[in-house]
Chains A and B, each alone.
Chain A
Amino acid sequence: MKLFSACLLMMVWICPIAAAAAEPLLPSETNGWRWDNQKERHDSRTLYGYMDGAAELYLAYGFQDLTVRLYVKPGLPPITVELYRMASSADAYGVFTFERQDEPAGIGQGSEFGGGMLRFWKGAYFASVYAEGEGAEVESAVIGIGRGVAAAIPATGPEPELIGVVPGKEFGRVDRSVRFLRSHVLLNQRFFIAHRNILNLDRTTEAVLAEYPRDRQKVHLLLVRYPAPKAAGDAYRGFMKAYLPDAGEGDRAKTNDGRWTVARRQAEFILIVFGAPAESDAEGLIKAAEQKLPGRR
């Protein structure tokens, strides 16, 4: 009986993993572009070579594996599909938002198409589809293949919960400025804070960055959730010491550009506004986010 129970327990553990690892059945042909029947897969060891050194983006978001497919049509540029399986749907969302800048294409749970490249996320998958050339026929095929890939991904998944916390259009949030981040290196690529990891960001933390225009200037809101209040407290003290030492016992300081940085900790969360023209701008954003923090809504 004990053996049976142990086996049952193992199946419960193994089955979801096996299901998640099952490779989606990608389309073999779309708009006359046929899969060249070459199978290419990468794991975390081989990703670096494939990415020419840019693998960290995916590794930071819990990269599991990558399937690459090439679709060819005589006389026209080949189309490449890269399908990344990440640790969670939140991670897939994170990869997508990290580079998002173009108009949505209505594919998967979030998408964009620009410069000949389609990018989208669905469930725990992030995909990019692109051609090495241009033209209406090629772009139509890129979209068509992307739709086929999205349809082959069986399940959707939730966005990171914190996305719903950052103030939205009612506060003038810039379209497509919301980014979900897992590391300070990625944060620095989008908004440089410090060359050291003064906020202790890692795989156990979740960070959301959003941008708001105020008086023709960019104001940034950064929201971070830590695994526990103590971790948030440690990070908050580290941030204040390194970034706002002149705040004293307070939570804010006017920086040399004449704008305000305000940082606040609430339980396991840290909220920081950078570059606000007035203290009231920073207060407004922080209060709006605080009201929507999980457990306070």
Chain B
Amino acid sequence: MEEAIITRRDFLRAAAGTAAAATLGGALLTAEARSEATAKVVLIRHAEVVGSGGRIEGRIVQSMLDEAVRTLLGAGDPLEAWRSLVKSSDVVGIKSNAWYKLPTPGELEAAIKRRVLEAGVAERNIGLDDRGVLDNLLFLNATALINVRPLRTHHWAGVGTCLKNYIMFVPDPQAYHTDGCSPLGKIWTYPIVKGKTRLNILSALTPQFYGRGANFFDRRYVWPYGGLIVGTDPVAVDTIGAHLLQAKRIAFFGEDRALDVPPIHIVVADKTYHLGVSDLSRIRLIKSGWMEGALV
């Protein structure tokens, strides 16, 4: 049987609905209220976590992470929350992001690892990696994954967020770059990661809200937002992240200046791969800490 080909005309047919707008126009965030599953995401911010020269205050990052995880899971204290995420018998892979222009801050990686250790996981069973995960036995044998990366715009995917962070789990990443990286969600269905992700953390400490081209990085489009976006639902976390970047572009440029591509992979991860919630109206965002200029 021939596979159905999706063309522009399919979107034109559906133009009266929201699917086409979401896919083609970047109207990612619909306000349609539906009685479907909801998701919970925590946004926590601190005014002093980003110091002079962009230095990250490790002590503050730790307290932010603790509070976010505790709030997310409704636990009495951070350790109780982490113990509900990982067991002492787990092999834990902390999937980070090493892009040299805006990597996951080492202070955040250390804060995660510290709590995983305190939850009882042996150090020899904790891996921290990005591009080497397919050659890293700890990731190949992982029973639990913690997904952490910076929030930024991305040339092929529109935004670089938690869903995209798993692209290093496939040997042929370029195969997932078609149509605004819409197949990214498929990676999450592969055995190497399926069902293993316990927590998704978007570092919005210094997000990049605009960029052009494949390797573009300009500090004028990076701002000290001082936030972490944390959740168990990667689609919901990414939706909040994409919404934040969109709000910042509108605030900065006076318009929603177009990205290289709209971040359609987030909607596809919801609608096609059923990985979570991409509808803002169904995401319960819990805000904590410093809220001046929060934008969302």
Within 8 A of A (CB), among B215-267: 215-221, 260-261
Contact across chains for B179 and A195 when beta carbons are under 8 A apart: yes
Does A202 sit within 8 A of B, measured CB to CB?
A: no
What distance in Å separates the Cβ of A47 from its nearest Cβ neighbour in chain B? Answer: 9
Contact across chains for A58 and B12 when beta carbons are under 8 A apart: no
Interface 0/1 of A96-113, CB less than 8 Å to B: 000101000000000000
Complex contacts, B35 vs chain A, CB 8 Å = none
Interface 0/1 of A216-239, CB less than 8 Å to B: 000000000000000000000000
Instruction: Tell me the bound Cα distance from A117 to B5 in angstroms.
Output: 38
Contact across chains for A54 and B215 when beta carbons are under 8 A apart: yes
Contact across chains for A130 and B6 when beta carbons are under 8 A apart: no
Does A260 sit within 8 A of B, measured CB to CB?
A: no
Contact across chains for B177 and A117 when beta carbons are under 8 A apart: no
Does B9 sit within 8 A of A, measured CB to CB?
A: yes
Contact across chains for B12 and A255 when beta carbons are under 8 A apart: yes
Within 8 A of A (CB), among B150-168: 154-156, 160, 167
Cβ-closest chain A residue relative to B6: A195
Within 8 A of B (CB), among A16-66: 48-59
Instruction: Tell me the bound Cα distance from A257 to B156 in angstroms.
Output: 28
Does B52 sit within 8 A of A, measured CB to CB?
A: no
Contact across chains for A56 and B7 when beta carbons are under 8 A apart: no
Contact across chains for B216 and A53 when beta carbons are under 8 A apart: no
Contact across chains for A116 and B156 when beta carbons are under 8 A apart: no
Interface 0/1 of B152-190, CB less than 8 Å to A: 001110001000000100000110011110100000000
Complex contacts, A4 vs chain B, CB 8 Å = none
Contact across chains for B219 and A77 when beta carbons are under 8 A apart: yes
Instruction: Tell me the bound Cα distance from A194 to B212 in angstroms.
Output: 24
Interface 0/1 of A247-264, CB less than 8 Å to B: 000000001110000000
Instruction: Tell me the bound Cα distance from A167 to B221 in angstroms.
Output: 37
User: Provided the pairs A117-B216, A133-B219 are in contact, do residues A188 and B174 lie with their beta carbons within 8 angstroms?
Assistant: no
Contact across chains for A56 and B156 when beta carbons are under 8 A apart: yes
Instruction: Tell me the bound Cα distance from A189 to B259 in angstroms.
Output: 11
Cβ-closest chain B residue relative to A53: B173
Within 8 A of A (CB), among B13-69: 13, 15, 24
Instruction: Tell me the bound Cα distance from A271 to B9 in angstroms.
Output: 18
Cβ-closest chain B residue relative to A116: B218
Complex contacts, A119 vs chain B, CB 8 Å = 213
Complex contacts, A128 vs chain B, CB 8 Å = 213, 215-216
Does A134 sit within 8 A of B, measured CB to CB?
A: yes
What distance in Å separates the Cβ of B257 from its nearest Cβ neighbour in chain A? Answer: 10
User: Provided the pairs A53-B173, A133-B220 are in contact, do residues A82 and B5 lie with their beta carbons within 8 angstroms?
Assistant: no
Cβ-closest chain A residue relative to B221: A115
What distance in Å separates the Cβ of B176 from its nearest Cβ neighbour in chain A? Answer: 9
Complex contacts, A256 vs chain B, CB 8 Å = 9, 12-13, 15
Instruction: Tell me the bound Cα distance from A255 to B13 in angstroms.
Output: 8
Contact across chains for B220 and A134 when beta carbons are under 8 A apart: yes
Cβ-closest chain B residue relative to A184: B178
User: Provided the pairs A77-B219, A132-B217 are in contact, do residues A198 and B12 lie with their beta carbons within 8 angstroms?
Assistant: no
Complex contacts, B290 vs chain A, CB 8 Å = none
What distance in Å separates the Cβ of B7 from its nearest Cβ neighbour in chain A? Answer: 4
Contact across chains for B220 and A255 when beta carbons are under 8 A apart: no
User: Provided the pairs A57-B155, A189-B261 are in contact, do residues A115 and B212 lie with their beta carbons within 8 angstroms?
Assistant: yes
Contact across chains for A193 and B177 when beta carbons are under 8 A apart: no
Interface 0/1 of A181-222, CB less than 8 Å to B: 000010011001111101000000000000000000000000
Does B8 sit within 8 A of A, measured CB to CB?
A: yes
Q: Would you give 18 A-B contacts (Cβ < 8 Å), ordered by A?
A: A48-B174, A54-B154, A55-B214, A99-B212, A115-B212, A117-B213, A132-B217, A134-B220, A188-B178, A192-B11, A192-B179, A193-B8, A194-B5, A195-B179, A195-B182, A198-B7, A243-B7, A243-B8
Instruction: Identify 12 new A-B residue pairs, CB closer than 8 A, beyond the known A77-B219, A119-B213, A192-B11.
Output: A53-B177, A82-B215, A115-B210, A117-B213, A130-B216, A192-B24, A194-B5, A195-B5, A195-B179, A195-B182, A198-B7, A242-B5
Taking Cβ atoms with an 8 Å cutoff, the residues of A that contact B are: 48-59, 77, 82, 99, 101, 115-117, 119, 128, 130-134, 185, 188-189, 192-196, 198, 242-243, 255-257, 274
